[in-house]
Structure 1
Amino acid sequence: MADLLPDHEVSRVLVVVAHPDDVDFGAAGTVAHWTDAGHEVVYCVCTDGQSGGFDLDIPRAEMGAIRRGEQEAAAAAVGVTDVRFLGFVDGELEADRELVRSLTRLIRELQPQRVMCPSPERDWAILPRSHPDHLAAGEAAIRAVYPAARNPFSFPDLAEEGLEPWTVREVWLSGHPESNHVVDVTDTVDRKIAALLAHKSQHPDPDALPTRVREWLGANAVRAGLPEGRLAEDFFVVSTG
């Protein structure tokens, strides 16, 4: 099991994802626990999710704005009020200098003790978890955490703007092929489901969603050895301090 930072040493968490709704599928129940504990949580969404949805009557040019609004509503359901959108193109995300610099800037600005991001490693057992944009967001976030955000000689123009180096102490990977930590989200699952349902443009059958969510969270709990009837989100946690 992972050796976690104590709650009293965490004041701010940065959650980096590729698309609107990624955090809600992977971690909204955990985020609700964090905000309940008094942690400030900030979402950084790398793309506007322009390639998502199922309704052919919605013009593609409108989808980005729709999904931004849905993500803000979803964030509010679990106590998050600060959502940042980087505006990269859905389906074209790359872990390049521009994205790493953007995330480095955000880390230095916010100074989080903990960062959550997608795993940069592909999970062949559940391939949809490893959308190429997820892998790119995860890789760029890790590069920003180490070494860029803490290295005074990386992106020196940021230091010239007053954004001094910052060391993130812990990274939580979502969608990793292995897990070393689970969070019991039985008591926050209703808020997680509310967050997911806020993404109306993404659910052709919203009535089926709560059952599906509870089934996969229940399977996570069983694998982790939690008592019968519990629900869990799973992560791979890495000490980076």
Structure 2
Amino acid sequence: MTEPQPDLTTEPHNGPATEPPLEPMPTDWQRALAVVAHPDDLEYGCAAAVAGWTDAGREITYVLATRGEAGIDTLEPATCGPLREQEQRASAAVVGVSSVEFLDHKDGVIEYGLRLRRDIAAAIRRHRPELVITLNHRDTWGGVAWNTPDHVAVGRATLDAASDAGNRWIFPELADQGLEPWNGVRWVAVAGSAQPTHAVDATPGLERSVRSLLEHRTYIEALTDEDPETYCRTFLLGNAEATGRRFGGKPAVAFELFSR
């Protein structure tokens, strides 16, 4: 079940300006695969960075474990899932992403395990990215702001699948399906982490990130009584400015970067 990330302007994981500066994200790559649990996870997390990357000619593919069908209390899953899929595709298009796939795990009760690892490893083999992106895989967003089980399961499985994808003896059935091992993942970047290490200048993509999140209007209108555009703008600009205090004063999107 989808839940928005906490307001990072008040959460401790962006921290005060006295914390160490964030390093620039690597730029020597061409293909990235973003793997998250729900529609809107990337829009709350890192769409401004994605917009800048697609502007530079990089290829980004989105893979979502669920269709977010359990995310709106007033909508039955059979109605909610297709609607949220449609909103996700429109949202991705705003930041230059045309390839959006769904793994059809069940929203709200995703299980960490072999099936999830296999599905993500298959996606990595299929798209052969150098950079894999996911969302916070830890129990909290920092402090006592509790994360959701779906985020934890998908984030952890993505970190594991980056290795699984390159090992021909793990999930050998994937090769029988024409998905040969891919050991070319160089980094996994975790958005929304309480322990960020790197960042991307959000300035080129910030306005599009607002419009991208706003495409999830059905979900946002169920979430808050605030004007949807005001809500999206306040949330995203506040987070980018807070992160920027550790990135030379420029609005930024933060990641915890795991090298491989």
TM-score, length-scaled by structure 2? 0.84
Which structure has more helix as a fraction of its residues? 1
Number of residues of Structure 1 aligned to a counterpart in Structure 2? 231
1:46 matches 2:65 = yes
TM-score, length-scaled by structure 1? 0.90
The structural deviation recorded for 1:71 is 0.3
Please, which runs of 5 or more residues in structure 2 have no aligned partner? 1-21
Distance of 2:229 and 2:125 partners within structure 1: 41
The structural deviation recorded for 1:225 is 4.4
1:221 matches 2:244 = yes
**Structure 2 vs 1, CA of residues 225 and 183 (structure 1 numbering), >3 Å: closer, same or farther?**
closer
**Structure 2 vs 1, CA of residues 221 and 68 (structure 1 numbering), >3 Å: closer, same or farther?**
same
Please, which runs of 5 or more residues in structure 1 have no aligned partner? none
Structure-2 residue corresponding to 1:77? 94
Distance of 1:193 and 1:127 partners within structure 2: 24
Distance of 2:172 and 2:256 partners within structure 1: 31
Q: Counterparts in 2 of 1:66-145, with a 5 A limit?
A: 66-122=83-139, 123-125=141-143, 127=145, 130-145=147-162
The structural deviation recorded for 1:196 is 0.2
Kept in 2: contact 1:2–1:238 (CA 8 A) = no
Structure-2 residue corresponding to 1:231? 251
- Alpha-carbon displacement from aligned partner over 1:98-150 (angstroms, at most 9, x marks no partner): 1111111111111101100123222332625x22111100111111112x111
Distance of 1:214 and 1:193 partners within structure 2: 8
Give the letter aligned to residue 172 of structure 2. Answer: P
The structural deviation recorded for 1:236 is 0.5
**Structure 2 vs 1, CA of residues 26 and 111 (structure 1 numbering), >3 Å: closer, same or farther?**
same
Kept in 1: contact 2:51–2:204 (CA 8 A) = no
Kept in 2: contact 1:19–1:48 (CA 8 A) = yes
Q: Secondary structure at 1:61's aligned position in 2?
A: helix
Give the letter aligned to residue 63 of structure 1. Answer: C
Equivalent residue in structure 2 for 1:149, among 165, 169, 173: 165
Give the letter aligned to residue 109 of structure 1. Answer: R
Q: Secondary structure at 1:212's aligned position in 2?
A: helix
Q: Secondary structure at 2:134's aligned position in 1?
A: strand
The alignment-based identity, stated in percent, is 36
Structure-1 residue corresponding to 2:178? 162
